Chain A
Amino acid sequence: MKVSYKWVKEFIENFDEDIETVVEKLNETGLESTYEKFGNYIPNLTTVKILSIEKHPEKDNLLVCRATDGSKEYQVITAAKNVKEGDIVVLAKEGAVINGIEIKPVKFGSLTSEGMFLSFEELGIEIPSEGLFILGKDAPIGVDASKLLDLGEDYIIELEITPNRGDALSVRGLAREIAAIFGKKRTEKLPVVSILQENIPEIQVETDKLNRYRAVIVENVKVNVSPLDIQLKLIKSGQKPINNIVDITNFILLQEGQPLHAFDLDKLEGEIHIRQASEGEKIVALDGNEYTLNKNDIVIADDKKAVAIAGIIGGDNTKVDENTKNVLLEAANFDPSSVRKTAKRLGISTDSSYRFERGVDIENLPNAQDKAIELISSTAGGRAVGESDVHINVYKPKQVKLREKQIKRVLGAEIPKEKCSELLNRLEIPTEIVEDGTLSEIPAFRAYDLEREIDLVEEVGRLTGFNNLEETYPSISTENFNYPDYFKLEEKIRKFFISNGLTEVLTYTFSSEEDHQALGLPKPDIEIINYILKSQSLMRNNLAVSLINTLKENIKYGSKDLSVFETGTVFFDDHEEYRIGILLTGKFIDGYTFSKEKQQLNTTEKWDFLKVKGLINSFFEYIGIKNLNVNLPQLQFLNKYEAVKFLKGNTELGYIGKIHPKTAKNLEIPEDTYIGEFYLKYVSRDLKEPDHKPYIYDLIKEKEEIVYNEIPKFPSVKRDLAFEAEEDFSVGTLLDEIPKTCKLIKKVKLFDVYFLGNGRKSIAVSVEFNAGDRSLTDEEVNQMVEDLVNKLNEKFGLKLRK
């Protein structure tokens, strides 16, 4: 809400604080606000009355106006269409600077224009409008127009309230707040109206979403431009003046916080009904849009048709126009959540709905409406001839107690009950002092916000000022001074990958069906209904999709080498998982090896399957998970001949692999792209974690503590052995098998594999024997080697090469 500071000051007795202090204090006490100057003073502007209008003799689109400032007449040529004889407008005289251009007499054809009539925009006022600013009939002519319009004089306060402070959404409410902050008195001139009961509106209430409905018929109004004061106040709030009747309803809404609506009485047929809309009922609103309603929406209707969407917007069919003679002025109070639901569903927010959603002061309703009637009578000459007030939910003030000890408990400060009472009374919350604190009667304007003791603690706290409370330091009762195991593990993993050259990425957890399809992965379970982008409408069920998108982006940025990892969330119907994903492609050493003999620089180390596997083996070693098995992953997007999954027992811990060339081609990414994912942790949505297969985190929790083993006193004996095998015999099988054949074998190391060319290959290993308690003799070792060779021959048909 934007309002004029001058306007607010009218409602506070003897108040003339500077705007900066006021806004600062408002912020300090809980109303977020900013201010800016209203326009800038422009010299050489005057107000003039249009005496005559003629068409330009030579130029079709121009009008030649004669205007007077009371002492001097001007000839002004304008292109504006909205001028009439008798209108008062702002004239920029010679020497005025408008939008950076100095006004001088200008010739249009054979005629000279002695100045320029101004629109809002040309006055520096941010109101979209076509045509000139037509001032109210009461505007004096021949005066300094900048001064008259307060240009550069007034300030505009812009208020951004929190949802609980609907009471501040008016000049009246803001004045009340400022008066309370500065210990001043709010003033108010009460309206004097007499309503005859000659023509009483008939009202039928057919819903329980209404608290009060008061309708007043005003006859014989003359629709015209508003008086200058009303125009100016609306303009300062960023609203375009329309006509006196409509302006007055808007003016009262801003001043009092009470939405009003004026119907053209002669367009209403029969009685007024406040009822549920029928399913599919349509209404064209004042904004020109047609809205389709359902039976949860409340409408104002006559006997034949809906004429307004309750509390939100009026209908076009009964709107006030320049021919309107009689009006029905509505002041109502609707159920906030009903208004909110309808406004939200229809996607409209009006000044009226904004206020109803946040709660409108039901007790100020007649006051606000009477002020409007008073203004209509005085400016449009109407006569109030009938009133009907259906007051369904009469406000019953709630008594709320505030104990001194409760203030101490929450704020930590002693604020005596006398002070509390003073502060609350300043806020116009009638409060008396009782034995252990204060007792307040909550007024209707705070009914939506103040219900409980804690609400009053906040009121006292914010007016006292949180910045005046001194800090204390609680002793935190906890035995915890460390990260939970999972965070430690994740941190360790991050450190590992970062030190090994991988950069951490942070991708959106959103994905698309296409992302998953491209990898042959199932469609994710969790879908966003109101997504921003279709490509971000599914919650991913794996990290590969995100990492591939990262690669694609970086290729666009011109980088072909990528070594990245992420610890991120993936989603399933009944649980979530934290995973770690890696994507590696291209070079990973950002340097070269230097060979003096060959006199050359060798500049590349590229990722290949064994390097990636080595990285992951080393990762598992680093986090302390030993004795893993490997197997073949069943993932369509991987090249199955260069892919492996890691298991502990039967539990899958993750996979790595080279992307399938077909997938690479489809996705337009390099063929030498390696992707991996590891399953870190199960995340439950229930408070209790259900049973689930173990994740890496679970293995870490259960892992055995490392205990020191005595360093062998006796030297080991090493033997190098080369075996001959079929070409597709897996080396891993051999390496796993050897230690199982003999307890004294402490270590097996592969040192050479080469292909013999006849469909066979040679596998050379170094085997280390140690008995622990003594030196082994040659004979013993020879015997063990012989046993080993025999066993391997029996099991795999391997032969020892001489």
Chain B
Amino acid sequence: MQIKENIEALEKEYQEKLKNIKDLKQLQDIKTELLGKKGKITSLFKLLKEVPPEKKKEVGALINSVKAKFEDILKEFEKQLTEKELEEKLKKSKIDITLPGAWVSPGAPHPVTATLRYISDIFVSMGFKIEEGPEVELEEYNFDMLNIPKDHPAREMQDTFFINKKGYVLRTHTSPVQIRAMLKQKPPLAVIAPGKVYRKDLDPTHSPMFHQIEGLVVDENITFRDLKGILKIFLESVFGKNIPIRFRPSYFPFTEPSAEVDIGCTVCKGKGCRVCKNTGWLEILGCGMVDPNVFEAVGIDTEKYTGFAFGLGIERITMLKYQIPDIRLLFSNDMRFNLQFKGI
């Protein structure tokens, strides 16, 4: 049967042609040659009328199967070639992924503000409220009401900057915010006051402007043991669980009893080094029970309420945390320093 042979030959020929196909264009050509209006398979159907009726069914089926077969093959080829071409196109526009990205690089937070935030977070999460006060402060709040009378050696504990505004100084500590808080609000009170303070002092560990956080808790039945508890939580949050803590009796005019708190040296772990001056301890904050004279100054009943207060220098903790040797670096604003703190 002529037609049958034609089909077989056709099949053979195109199987061979498809082997050498390179791109979608060639595929399209073959598709047209075979399945187009005048295509070779399409033309086979025209030959069908010359086929004897009894064979028509058989031959028809044969042509149909060839058509289906080629349609499948071509579809498969098309899929593969499309993918191949897409791949080539992508490859052509490939980027060297090791090139640095081109977007704004973030700035760096300042380590002092970051530390201040970090410490505030700890107290805020314990329920302390944040209070603020001005940096040009009434002498009365900065000294007198804090039980620091005029002509008392205690005034010399802090070297004060005096200003041209009568009755005011640059505050030497954040403690006057205690007075402000107690004048504004009756107990119970639990506040912290972060902010800038000023002392006439300049060397590797002292800066004329620096930051403190003051803490104050006033309520019935607040004791020195409570003070120890709160400070333990705080110090362990900052310096790690089981950091050695030592309370040394000391003197501040606005607290009594007063204490200085030391932690085991974070650099040498208590063995003794330059940072802790071979003592194994680092002085970290001052604290104590609010002196009754302070309560009296703000009109809080000393027989009903007790309270504790504490104050710490942010720069000191920042320097310990990031091992910064000189406080003046913190205020240098030298980008070679500041940019080291990206991502803190």
Which residues on A are within 8 Å of B, measured CB to CB?
Answer: 27-30, 32, 34, 162-165, 337, 340-341, 344, 357-358, 408-413, 452, 454-455, 457-458, 461-462, 466-467, 469-474, 476-478, 480-484, 486-487, 491, 494, 497-510, 525-532, 536, 539, 550, 553-554, 557, 559, 562-565, 567, 569, 571, 573, 575-576, 588-594, 596, 683-685, 687
Contact = CB atoms under 8 A, between A and B. Distances in A.
Given A32-B250, A472-B226, A532-B200, A494 B151 contact: no
A687 B153 contact: no
B12 interface: no
Interface stretch (B79-87, B157-165, B265-273): B157-165
A530 B248 contact: no
B214 interface: no
B335 A554 contact: yes
Contacts of B208: 508, 510, 532, 536
Interface of B: 93, 95, 99-110, 112-113, 117, 120, 124-130, 132, 134-138, 150-154, 156-157, 161-165, 168, 170, 180, 183-184, 188, 190, 196, 200, 202, 208-209, 217, 219, 221-226, 228-230, 232-233, 246-251, 256-259, 279, 289, 291-292, 306, 330-336, 338-339
B313 to A, nearest CB: 14
A622 B242 CA distance: 42
Contacts of A573: 165
Contacts of A340: 151-153
A3 to B, nearest CB: 20
The 4 closest A-B pairs by CB, nearest first: A412-B223, A30-B249, A162-B251, A412-B225
B27 to A, nearest CB: 29
Contact of B224 (A412, A526, A530): A412
A539 B136 CA distance: 10
A503 B338 contact: yes
A685 B256 contact: no
Contact of B109 (A357, A470, A504, A594): A504
Contact of B225 (A344, A413, A502, A539): A413
B306 A589 contact: no
A358 B153 contact: yes
B299 to A, nearest CB: 13
B334 A557 contact: yes
A526 to B, nearest CB: 5
A30 B107 contact: no
Given A474-B230, A509-B209, 4 more contacts: A34-B279, A476-B127, A539-B170, A553-B333
Contact of A505 (B221, B291, B338): B338
B259 A504 contact: no
A461 B228 CA distance: 14
Contact of B113 (A29, A506, A684, A685): A506
Contact of A503 (B132, B152, B339): B339
A554 B246 CA distance: 42
A469 B225 CA distance: 6
Nearest to B252: A162
Contacts of B113: 494, 504, 506, 567
B148 to A, nearest CB: 10
B151 A498 contact: no
B163 A685 contact: no
**Interface-centre pick from A409, A550, A590 (highest chain B CB count, 10 A):** A409
Contacts of A564: 107, 333
A494 B106 CA distance: 11
A355 to B, nearest CB: 11
A550 B333 CA distance: 6
A472 B223 contact: yes
A491 B112 CA distance: 14
A698 B228 CA distance: 39
A462 B257 contact: yes
B162 A530 contact: yes
A553 B329 CA distance: 13
Contact of A473 (B99, B226, B250): B226
Nearest to B262: A27
B188 A478 contact: yes
Contact of A494 (B103, B109, B138): B109
B215 to A, nearest CB: 11
A504 B163 contact: no
Contacts of A341: 151
A163 B148 CA distance: 11
Contacts of A476: 126-128, 188, 190, 217
B229 A473 contact: yes
A569 B196 contact: yes
A28 B161 contact: no
A478 B228 CA distance: 19
B70 to A, nearest CB: 40
A592 B104 CA distance: 10
Nearest to A479: B127
B126 A162 contact: no
A537 B232 CA distance: 40
B293 to A, nearest CB: 8
6 contacts: A163-B157, A337-B150, A411-B223, A503-B335, A506-B113, A687-B180
Given A409-B221, A411-B225, A481 B124 contact: yes
A409 B306 contact: yes
Contacts of B157: 163
Nearest to A459: B257
A162 B255 CA distance: 13
A565 B100 CA distance: 26
Contacts of A413: 223, 225
Given A358-B153, A476-B217, A504-B110, A591 B101 contact: yes
Given A163-B153, A471-B225, A576 B338 contact: no
Nearest to A546: B333
A594 B94 CA distance: 12
Contacts of B225: 411-413, 469-472
B99 to A, nearest CB: 6
Contact of B102 (A357, A501, A553, A593): A593
A545 to B, nearest CB: 13
A268 to B, nearest CB: 31
Contact of B128 (A480, A525, A567): A480
A311 B205 CA distance: 34
Given A478-B128, A506-B112, A506-B113, A530 B161 contact: yes
**Interface-centre pick from A462, A474, A494, A565 (highest chain B CB count, 10 A):** A474
B163 A529 contact: yes
A34 B277 CA distance: 11
A602 to B, nearest CB: 9
Contacts of A410: 223-224, 257, 289, 306
A596 B168 CA distance: 65
A371 B107 CA distance: 70
B289 A30 contact: no
Contacts of B112: 506
A462 B103 contact: no
A427 to B, nearest CB: 13
Given A163-B152, A528-B161, A506 B110 contact: yes
B251 A164 contact: yes
A208 to B, nearest CB: 15
Nearest to A358: B153
A500 B104 contact: yes
A659 B157 CA distance: 44
Nearest to A567: B113
Contacts of A685: 134, 136-138, 168
A531 B138 CA distance: 19
A506 B331 contact: yes
